[in-house]
């Protein structure tokens, strides 16, 4: 492992990489061999036609991409992708070592913060989750968090997009189930910002495209990629294999295959529109737990693919803040903290899945609130320390002398607020904690969630735009 000192959103933070220059060159060479000699399956004719025109060899749906095509794509893709809020402010410049945090999407179960009971989520949970993310200061972008069970599942993505755009002004990371859902989502976003060109110039969303694996590029994923690239909008093209199942069991082999798949997506995006913004995967292929047959979310074999993808200089999506625990408990807190801190050290740009439990099957607003407090802690940890005459305080030290008491000094009163203070983490005396009801962290987090939902009002959309979003959803429901 090596460390690079790169400035970013978290100033002064050390940048960790898990592989040497020689190891990267071997991984990159393996990716080029997978693409150029072994070949990958591409299940969309339009994609094969683009690749053939660009110089690839086509044998049925097996495609072999020569290395010069990859190098050209790496040269043409922008090294910085910026996401904007609804007001047109550049709030998420994805580049270098800058880290931004958000939840995940589409969990099948939710732990209700009001009752602590597991239940099926509904559309109201997407609405409340979007408002909660809008209110939490250290949550930078919004995802749907849950899959609502009270709407048509084939149209759920359109309902989710309407709920998110209506209840937050923060950027949206969106998942669509079919390409028509993506078209609906982009149409809604264009309505919000004032048209296709306005959205291209200042994108308020990007789409998370699930790809079967680095070796298999399914039709729907390719359609979504080409649709976004054709509009000049950023795309997240994420081959998501399971090591030992759809990719090799070894870390190096699994990472090489998934990275090759991401590079295939990059090539296609640049063939469709040269200079189209593209976000690389930095999500390590999780090895299937052979004892339980579960694909874990909080595993220590992480960061290797980020060490590869960061060498290409493109923005990345990574995964942290999730847990394999079934409850909001000590395991959930420990795994969320470990994975988030690891991803920050690795320099992940879009860090998603805060609030995930049960290996991505269950969501918790309380867990999200705990993760948000952890992000605040992490930011304080990486905050640059001012070293100046004023902060060295030599005059104050001389005035106090040996054994002086600084508690009541003017210098202390001037600077004590510069220290980090927790919101829902407890650090008082035991008797004081008793007087406040002996609340656990989960109880304090749940209380904060409810307080924010009761008090926070998201910036509303103009009625005409809100009506347009509803019209798009209704059209989708009738199609």
Provide the phi-psi class of 264: left if phi over 0, else alpha when psi is between -120 and 50, else beta: alpha
Distance of alpha carbon 287 from alpha carbon 123, whole angstroms: 33
Distance of alpha carbon 209 from alpha carbon 280, whole angstroms: 11
Distances (CA, A) of 164 to 132, 142, 158, 205, 360: 11, 7, 10, 11, 20
Angle between helices 123-135 and 441-455 (to 10 degrees): 90
Look at residue 1 in the predicted model and tell me its pLDDT: 40
User: 3-class SS at 198?
Assistant: helix
Find, among 102, 174, 91, 90, the residue nearest to 133 by Cα. 102
Look at residue 160 in the predicted model and tell me its pLDDT: 97
Contact predicate 240/219, CB 8 Å:
no
Contact predicate 109/118, CB 8 Å:
yes
Per-residue tens of pLDDT for the chain, all 479 residues: 443 333 334 444 446 788 888 999 999 999 999 999 999 999 999 999 999 999 999 999 999 999 999 999 999 999 999 999 999 999 999 988 889 999 999 999 999 999 999 999 999 999 999 999 999 999 999 999 999 999 999 999 999 999 999 999 999 999 999 899 999 999 999 999 999 999 999 999 999 999 999 999 999 999 999 999 999 999 999 998 787 787 888 888 989 999 999 999 999 999 999 999 999 998 888 888 889 988 888 888 877 787 888 889 999 999 999 999 999 999 999 999 999 999 998 888 999 999 999 999 999 999 999 999 999 999 999 888 899 999 999 999 999 999 889 998 999 999 999 999 999 999 999 999 999 999 999 999 999 999 999 999 999 999 999 999 999 999 988 87
Number of other residues whose CB lies within 10 A of the CB of residue 359: 19
Look at residue 7 in the predicted model and tell me its pLDDT: 33
Number of other residues whose CB lies within 10 A of the CB of residue 61: 17
User: 3-class SS at 98?
Assistant: coil
Look at residue 4 in the predicted model and tell me its pLDDT: 38
Q: Domain-by-domain residue ranges, the chain?
A: 75-382+467-474, 389-418
Look at residue 15 in the predicted model and tell me its pLDDT: 65
pLDDT tens digits for range 289-348: 889 988 888 888 877 787 888 889 999 999 999 999 999 999 999 999 999 999 998 888
Look at residue 282 in the predicted model and tell me its pLDDT: 87
0.95 surpassed by pTM: no
Question: Which residue has tokens 């559309």?
Answer: 123
Residues 6 or more apart from 221 whose CB is under 8 A from it?
A: 209, 210, 211, 212, 237
Rounded to a whole number of angstroms, the CA Rg of the chain reads: 24
Does the 75-382+467-474 domain belong in CATH 3.10.580.10?
A: no
């Amino acid at each position: 492992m090596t460390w690079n000192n790169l400035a970013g959103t978290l100033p002064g933070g050390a940048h960790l990489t898990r592989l040497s220059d020689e190891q990267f060159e071997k991984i990159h060479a393996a990716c080029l061999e997978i693409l150029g000699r072994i070949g990958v399956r591409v299940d969309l004719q339009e994609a094969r036609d683009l690749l053939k025109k660009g110089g690839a060899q086509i044998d049925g749906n097996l495609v072999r991409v020569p290395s010069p095509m990859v190098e050209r794509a790496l040269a043409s893709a922008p090294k910085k992708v910026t996401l904007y809020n609804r007001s047109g402010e550049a709030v998420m410049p994805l580049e270098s070592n800058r880290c931004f945090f958000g939840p995940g999407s589409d969990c099948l179960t939710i732990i209700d913060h009001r009752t602590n009971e597991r239940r099926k989520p509904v559309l109201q949970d997407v609405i409340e989750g979007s408002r909660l993310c809008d209110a939490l200061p250290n949550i930078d972008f919004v995802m749907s968090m849950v899959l609502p069970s009270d709407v048509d599942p084939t149209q759920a993505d359109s309902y989710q997009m309407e709920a998110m755009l209506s209840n937050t002004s923060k950027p949206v990371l969106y998942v669509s189930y079919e390409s028509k859902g993506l078209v609906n989502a982009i149409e809604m976003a264009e309505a919000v910002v004032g048209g296709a060109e306005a959205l291209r110039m200042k994108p308020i969303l990007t789409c998370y495209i699930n790809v079967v694996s680095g070796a298999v590029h399914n039709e729907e994923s390719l359609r979504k990629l080409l649709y976004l690239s054709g509009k000049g909008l950023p795309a997240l093209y994420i081959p998501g294999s399971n090591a030992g199942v759809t990719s090799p069991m070894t870390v190096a082999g699994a990472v090489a295959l998934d990275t090759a798949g991401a590079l295939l997506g990059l090539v296609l995006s640049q063939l469709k529109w040269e200079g189209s913004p593209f976000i690389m995967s930095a999500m390590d292929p999780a090895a299937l737990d052979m004892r339980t047959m579960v694909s874990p979310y909080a595993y220590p074999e992480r960061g290797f693919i980020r060490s590869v993808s960061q060498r290409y200089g493109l923005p990345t999506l990574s995964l942290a803040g999730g847990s394999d625990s079934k409850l909001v408990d000590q395991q959930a807190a420990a795994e969320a903290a470990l994975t988030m801190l690891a991803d920050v050290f690795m320099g992940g740009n879009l860090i998603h899945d805060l609030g995930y439990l049960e290996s991505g099957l269950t969501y918790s607003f309380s867990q999200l609130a705990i993760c948000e407090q952890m992000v605040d802690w992490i930011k304080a940890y990486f905050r640059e320390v001012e070293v100046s005459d004023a902060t060295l305080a030599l005059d104050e030290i001389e005035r106090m002398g040996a054994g002086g008491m600084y508690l009541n000094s003017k210098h202390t009163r001037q600077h004590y607020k510069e220290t980090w203070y927790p919101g829902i983490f407890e650090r008082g005396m035991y008797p004081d904690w008793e007087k406040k009801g002996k609340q656990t962290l989960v109880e304090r987090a749940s209380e904060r969630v409810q307080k924010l939902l009761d008090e926070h009002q998201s910036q509303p959309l103009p009625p005409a735009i809100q009506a347009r979003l509803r019209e798009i959803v209704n059209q989708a429901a009738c199609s």
